[in-house]
Amino acid sequence: MAAAGTVLLANTGIYLHTTLHGKLRIWGRELEQADLKGDERLLDLGCGRGAVLIEAARRLPTGHAVGVDLWSGKDQSGNRPEVTLANAAAAGVADRVEVRTADMTALPFADGSFDVVTSALAIHNIPSPEARYRAVDEAMRVLRPGGRLIVADFWPMARKYAAHLGQGTLRGLGPGYWYGGPWLGVTLLHAVKGR
């Protein structure tokens, strides 16, 4: 009983650290390593309250960051477009952030509209494998030639997206992005659209 309690407590601590600090620090690092010039158009799939969207917008002084999500009043975290926009305003990036209601499997953007597409733990929420692959295909469709797809998802999913695309590099993001332990670790997929 004591061992089970200790494991549960440790898992809770790891989860809270990841949610409150780890994922933000890791996305900050990943966006720095992406060598953004600052004028890119970036799309964040499943942007939620805007954590990745806002981190990206901070690095786009002359660019633009668009977040898409399917907003739901039933969402446990209070995801609503107004909340995301308020978070962007509080971070001082409201002038370069836009949010739209959109389905990742049928994005309302023209081919080649974005330089970078990001997604953080969102694509796996799509119920069917076929629809998840359609979302990955849509992300690639809206990228310009040479544009980059940067997706963080649980490792089995990220591997499947890379296999579906037939390309991309995969890298585990480590304990800072664990949700309870290594069995719920997050992997980064980085893919480049061909020219």
DSSP string, 166-178: T--EEEE--GGG-
Position 79 confidence tier, pLDDT thresholds 50, 70, 90: confident
Provide the 3-class DSSP secondary structure of residue 42: strand
**Euclidean distance between CA atoms 56 and 64, whole angstroms:** 9
| Rounded distance between C-alpha atoms, residue 176 and residue 101, angstroms | 30
pLDDT at 77 > cutoff 70: no
pLDDT for the residue numbered 66: 98
pLDDT at 18 over 70: no
Higher pLDDT, 25 or 96: 96
Sheet holding 41-45, edge to edge: 97-101, 64-69, 41-45, 114-120, 143-154, 186-192, 169-172
CB 79 within 8 A of CB 44: no
Mean pLDDT of the chain: 87
**Model confidence at 4: pLDDT above 60:** no
Query: Per-residue pLDDT averaged across 108-123, rounded?
Result: 97
pLDDT at 117: 98
DSSP single-letter state for residue 99: E
- pLDDT value of position 90: 96
